[in-house]
Amino acid sequence: MAAAFVLALREGTEAVLILTFVLGLLKKSGRLELRRHAWTGTTVAALVALAAALVLTWLGTEFEGSGEIIFEGTSMFLAGSFLIWMVFWVRRQSVPVTSSLAAKIGRLPEGNVAVSIFAVTFFAVLREGLEFALFMVALGSAAQNGSLLAGALAGMVFAALLGFLLYTSVLKINMRQFFRITNILLMFFAAGLLAGSAREFADLGLIPVIIPKIYDISSILNTTNFAGGMLRSLFGYNPAPSLIEILVYLFTLGFILLSMRKPMRQVRVES
C-alpha cells in the first residue's frame, strides 16, 4: 500500500502540475473558454491509462505456470527500469517541468489552440498514467497485496488536493525539493523491483541463482506481518534471499548512486 501511495502521489503530482499550470496559464491569458479542452485531454488520457492497466492486469491473470512467472518478472523489470530512468530524468532538469511546458505552449500554433491544448494535456498526462499502470501491475505481482488500490487512490487524492491548493495559491511548496525526496524512495523501489524480477527469472532457471539462500530471518521478520509486508511492498524485502537477488539489489543501488555523483549536463529550455 505504501509503495502504491508514494508512486501514485509522485506520478499524480506530475500530471496534476501539468494540468494546473495549463489552467493557470489560460486564466492569466483570459482564455478561460479553452479550459474544457485541457480537462478533456486529461480525462481521455486517464481513461486510456486505466484501460491499459486493465489490459495488463487481464494479461497477467491469463498466464499460468511459467508464463505467469515470465510475465511478472518482465513487468517488474520494466517498471524498475522506468523508475531508474525517472530518477535520472528529474536530476537532469535545470528548470521545473512547468517551465519546459511554458515554452512548449508558447510555441503552439495560434490557429489551432484548442487542439494544441488538448494534445499537450493528453500526451503529458498519458505518459504519467501509462507509467503508473505498469508500476501497479509490477507491484501487484511483487506484493500480491489487495491494499494496493487503496494506496493508489489515496495518493491520487493527495496529488489532486495538492494541485488544487497550488492553483488557488493557498499552498507554497518547493516542488524541486519534493521530487528530490521522492527520488530517494524511487531508488529503493527500483532496486526492489529488479531484485524481484531476478528472483522470478531465477526460479525458471533463466538466470543462475548462484546460492539459493544466503540467510533466512523469516522467523524474526516475515512478510506475512505488517512490518515485513510493508518492507516487501516498499523495498522488495525478502527474508530468505538468494545471492542473485542481493547482487542485483546492491548493483542497482550502487549504479544509481555512483552515476548521480558524476556531473551531468543540464537540460536547458529553449525560449
Q: How far is Cα 97 from Cα 18, in angstroms, rounded to an integer?
A: 8
CA 239 from chain centre, in angstroms, equals 25
Question: Over the stretch 208-227, which tens digit does the pLDDT of each residue have?
Answer: 988 999 999 988 888 777 78
72 Cβ contact partners less than 8 Å away, ≥ 6 residues apart: 60, 138, 141, 142, 200
Determine contact, residues 120/41, Cβ cutoff 8 Å: yes
Instruction: Give residue limits of the domains in the chain.
Output: 2-185
Sites in the chain below the pLDDT cut of 50: 94-96, 144, 266-271
Q: Specify the pLDDT at position 155.
A: 80
d(CA 230, CA 236): 9
Q: What is the pLDDT of residue 103?
A: 54
The structure's pTM equals: 0.68
How far apart are the C-alpha atoms of 244 and 254, rounded to whole Å? 15
Alpha-carbon distance of 26 to 208, in angstroms, equals: 56
